[in-house]
Amino acid sequence: MPHYMRSLLCALAEARYLNRTLVLDLSLCLAASYTAAGMPEEGKRLAFYFDIDHLRSSVVNIIEERQFWEDWDRWGAQGQLGLRLIEDTRVAATKFSKAKDTLIVRKFGDVEPGNYWYHVCEGEAERVLPPPRHAIRLAPSLMSIVDDIILSMQQDFDSVHVGGSVEDLIQRIEDGVDVGRQVYIAGEGINTVSMEVLKAKYNNLRYLDEFQRLWRKDSKWFLEMKRLNGGVPVKFDGYMRELVDREVFLKGKKKVEVLR
């Protein structure tokens, strides 16, 4: 989901620069690599992943897209409200910063990845559209899992993010982490088999799957998400795993990256 996050940050930056309310689709398409079925999933609520209230209060005012268009049909049906259509990501916000139109719409086309919003913030626009990273905060439900994981470990721990082999990981732990420190291992490819190899040498390692009780069907997270989703259960999907895993990693005192 890196493209989505970059595009969301760019949209927020552009709206802030233009001093306009951002009309935002509060759902997302979960990429196939994050789903159990290996197929993209449309309609995942953004609030499952990120703190929408914090997003709204941090940068610009946000209106949910579906509600906005319902209101727009009522307000602008007779053409009394102006609309400006921008059909090229290469048209920087600086070119229409003084526009008086009530609504500015960016149209991106259907060809990926050229139609991603983050392209708007590249090139000459990069200087005036810095990404407001402070606006992105994990959903309270996911932060609760992060907090519970941290509470279950030593107060002072180190963390390692893996993007390479187990052999690379062992070497980096030996080189970068003091003996006796508790270490949280984050990243792709971390499973029971690889962790058992590591634990044969280091007995103070933790990783995400050891905390599955925090999102299983009788967990506080599962019951709360089901309530928020109108009684429909919510799966702890691959994107949620990645977000929680990364957040715990960032909480470590000493952080080590293991790259391929």
Average pLDDT, the chain: 86
Which of 115, 135, 155 is the last residue in one of the domains? 135
Res 78: pLDDT:
55
Is residue 91 domain-shared with residue 197, that is, in the same domain?
no
Is residue 129 domain-shared with residue 149, that is, in the same domain?
no
Res 111: pLDDT:
61
In this prediction, residues 45-62 reach a mean pLDDT of 91
Is residue 117 domain-shared with residue 191, that is, in the same domain?
no
Res 182: pLDDT:
87
Range of the domain at 88: 2-135
Is residue 131 domain-shared with residue 145, that is, in the same domain?
no
Is residue 9 domain-shared with residue 131, that is, in the same domain?
yes
CATH of the domain at 192: 3.40.50
Res 260: pLDDT:
59
pLDDT tens for 199-212 read 777 778 899 999 99
Which of 135, 168, 184 is the last residue in one of the domains? 135
Is residue 113 domain-shared with residue 145, that is, in the same domain?
no
In this prediction, residues 16-43 reach a mean pLDDT of 91
In this prediction, residues 90-101 reach a mean pLDDT of 87
Is residue 152 domain-shared with residue 238, that is, in the same domain?
yes
CB count in 10 Å sphere of residue 72? 15
Is residue 6 domain-shared with residue 127, that is, in the same domain?
yes
Is residue 57 domain-shared with residue 121, that is, in the same domain?
yes
Count, residues in the chain: 260
With CA atoms as reference, report the closest residue to 137 among 12, 3, 36.
12
Q: Which residues contact 26 (CB under 8 A, 6 or more apart)?
A: 45, 46, 47, 52, 64, 65
- Triad 58, 64, 68: Cα angle to 5°: 125
Higher pLDDT pick, 145 / 58: 145
d(CA 15, CA 228): 29
Which of 75, 102, 135 is the last residue in one of the domains? 135
Is residue 123 domain-shared with residue 153, that is, in the same domain?
no
Is residue 9 domain-shared with residue 128, that is, in the same domain?
yes
Is residue 9 domain-shared with residue 110, that is, in the same domain?
yes
pLDDT band at 256 (very low <50, low <70, confident <90, very high): confident
Question: Which stretch of DSSP H or E encloses residue 159?
Answer: strand 158-162
Exposure letters 207-217 (e unless 16+ CB within 10 A, then b): bbeebeebbee
Res 154: pLDDT:
79
With CA atoms as reference, report the closest residue to 129 among 1, 6, 27, 26.
6
Q: Into how many domains does the chain fold?
A: 2
Res 201: pLDDT:
72
